[in-house]
Every structure is written in structure tokens, then in C-alpha cells.
Amino acid sequence: MNQLEQLKQHTTIVADTGDFQSIQAFAPRDATTNPSLILKAVQKEEYRHLLEKAARDHGAKSTGDIVDNLLVAFGTEILKIIPGRVSTETDARLSFDTQGTIDKGRALIALYEAAGISRERILIKIASTWEGIRAAEVLEKEGIRCNMTLLFALPQAIACADAQVQLISPFVGRIYDWYKKSTGQEYTGADDPGVQSVKRIYNYYRKFSYKTEVMGASFRNTSQIIELAGCDLLTISPELLQKLADGDAQVVRKLSPEEAAGADLQKLTLDERTFRFLLNEDAMGTEKLAEGIRQFCADAVKLDKMVEALRQG
């Protein structure tokens, strides 16, 4: 078996892309998108029609509503290809607005259900701020499942699990980027700080019997992916999926509930003050969360401008 086939024996594979035509060959169960991936996709000729259709069919609505319909259009097309769930992200500009995030999550689910898709097949992606986690807690109680993104630190993961969210997406590659830049060192294999972060979160969840799923995300190379074999899910770009499909080296399970049971970890209880203090103490987590929100906001603005240009044209 190639490395992708071996990995599937231990972990659920998820495709991380808006380019849904590129994922069929890898047979992932789920798929994830984000504002940057959708922006990248609509600039390709083969997806331009989805943008034009959203602007044409919903031209009387606000720009934000048209973008929501565009996101759902991508999600709907992806769900024709995969058997599982698609993750659709809320507007990053709502990252510190609990009620705004709740409203956006409900609106996206309503659009999917109007398209005949059950909410069980949708994960609403929300930034792992304190406000975002509180919004997810409300949505989960309404049967709207959430995927907490831009997650870089254990306090974020603990708060998400305490809120009983469906799934978290700790970012391996961006953690690696931060440490590589700050130390000037190269990290590989089990020494990779991003790999270590996800392993710690996975072990914490399994040791203390949390039901929230852990989905490693934001990979820079296949080594990071192989080191997390056994994680509940891994969301991987088509480029890295192809490299795994082309590889034949052995893949060994690295994460397991049995190993997690023996992990040297203490259970933490977090209120808002403790969450904010511990996240602030983590320079990497604080910086990458802020940077990630800024990047997604910038791409959301670009997507808005593309929609507005179509409406005016």
C-alpha cells in the first residue's frame, strides 16, 4: 500500500481545498474550506461560474448574503463528491462577536438545509477566540456542529472541549512556521513543535475522555502528517495528498488512546480570565491567532470586492 492507503488505516482523511475537482482521486471522507481557499478557487476559470451565479441569483441581497450563498454553493458541490462532511467558515470579521457568529452559523445552516442538505453533513468553522467558543457552545446545543479553527494552544483546545464542540483543527504548519522563524532552526519528525502541540492536545482529550474530535490541519510536509498517524482526522491539501499517494515508506500509528492514558498531563479548569491569561502567556498562540484572523479578514474583503465588481458590472 502507498502511504495514503496506510494512513487511512489509522486516521480519517479530509481534503483541505476549495478546488473540489482535485480531490476525487484521493477519496477523502470529509473536506474543509476557508476564506483563503475559496478566494483562490474562484479566481480559477473552472469555478468562476459559481461566483457569477451567486451574484446573478442573489443580486438584490447584500454582499455578505451573496458571499454566504457562494460558500454554500462550493460546499454543496463538494458534498456531491465526498460521503461525509464539509466545513464552511464563518466571516473572520466576526471573530470577537459572539452573537454575530451565532447568527452567521444559523444562516449558513439554513442555506444548506434549503438546498436539501442535512445539518449533520455540515461543520461550521469558527475561530477559536473566547467569543467564538461561546458562539459554538450555543450552536452545538441547537444541533449545529462546529469546527474550531485557528487553534494553536492547549487552553484554546481545552475551552473548546469544555464547550462540547464537535471538532477542533489545531494548526501544525503555522506553529512550525513560528518556531522556525523565531529560533532559526529546522524541525523534523517528532521534534516538530506543531506535531508536538497536536499530540499533546490529542492525549489530553483522550486521557480525560473528551468526545471532541481532533483534526490536525495546516501541514507543510508529509513528515508532519506521518507523525500524527492515529489522530482522529487529518485535513490535507491535494498537493500533499498526492505526495502521500506517491510514497511507499511504512506508516506506523503514532497516536492512540492507550498511549494517551499514560500521558503526564494535569486537567485544567478554565474560566474566561484564566483562558485569556494562559493564551496571552503563549506568545506563539497569541501571535498566530491574531495573524490568522487578519489574513482571513483580508481575504474576505477581497472576496467581497469581487462580488461587488460583478454586481456593478
Q: What is the pLDDT of residues 225-277, one digit of tens each?
A: 999 999 999 999 999 999 999 999 999 999 999 999 999 999 999 999 999 99
Give the residue-averaged pLDDT of 281-288: 98
3-312 maps to which CATH number?
3.20.20.70
Question: CB-hemisphere CA count at 13 Å for 198?
Answer: 38
Amino acid 136: pLDDT: 99
Kindly indicate the confidence band of residue 82, based on its pLDDT and cuts at 50, 70 and 90.
Answer: very high
pTM of the model: 0.96
Question: How many percent of the chain have pLDDT more than 90?
Answer: 98
Picking from 304, 302, 298, the residue whose alpha carbon sits closest to that of residue 61 is 304
Distance CA 120, CA 264 (A): 35
Candidate list 8, 61, 104, 125, residue with the active-site label: 125
Judged against a pLDDT cut of 80, whether residue 313 lies above it is answered with: no
Amino acid 62: pLDDT: 95
Judged against a pLDDT cut of 80, whether residue 158 lies above it is answered with: yes
Amino acid 312: pLDDT: 81
Q: Which three cell numbers stand for residue 62?
A: 447584500
Give the residue-averaged pLDDT of 299-313: 92
Give the residue-averaged pLDDT of 155-178: 98
Q: Tell me how far apart the terminal alpha carbons of the chain are, to the nearest angstrom.
A: 52
The SS3 assignment for 23 reads coil
Amino acid 152: pLDDT: 98
Which residue's C-alpha cell is 495573524? Answer: 291
Judged against a pLDDT cut of 90, whether residue 35 lies above it is answered with: no
Picking from 182, 146, 180, the residue whose alpha carbon sits closest to that of residue 161 is 146
Amino acid 311: pLDDT: 84
Amino acid 145: pLDDT: 98
Give the residue-averaged pLDDT of 16-39: 95
**H-assigned helices in 8-126:** 35-42, 48-57, 63-79, 98-114
For this structure, is 125 an active site residue? yes
What's the mean per-residue pLDDT of the chain?
97
Q: Are 73 and 108 in contact (CB under 8 A)?
A: no
Distance CA 247, CA 43 (A): 31
Domain extent listing, the chain: 3-312
Residue type, 79: L
Kindly indicate the confidence band of residue 207, based on its pLDDT and cuts at 50, 70 and 90.
Answer: very high
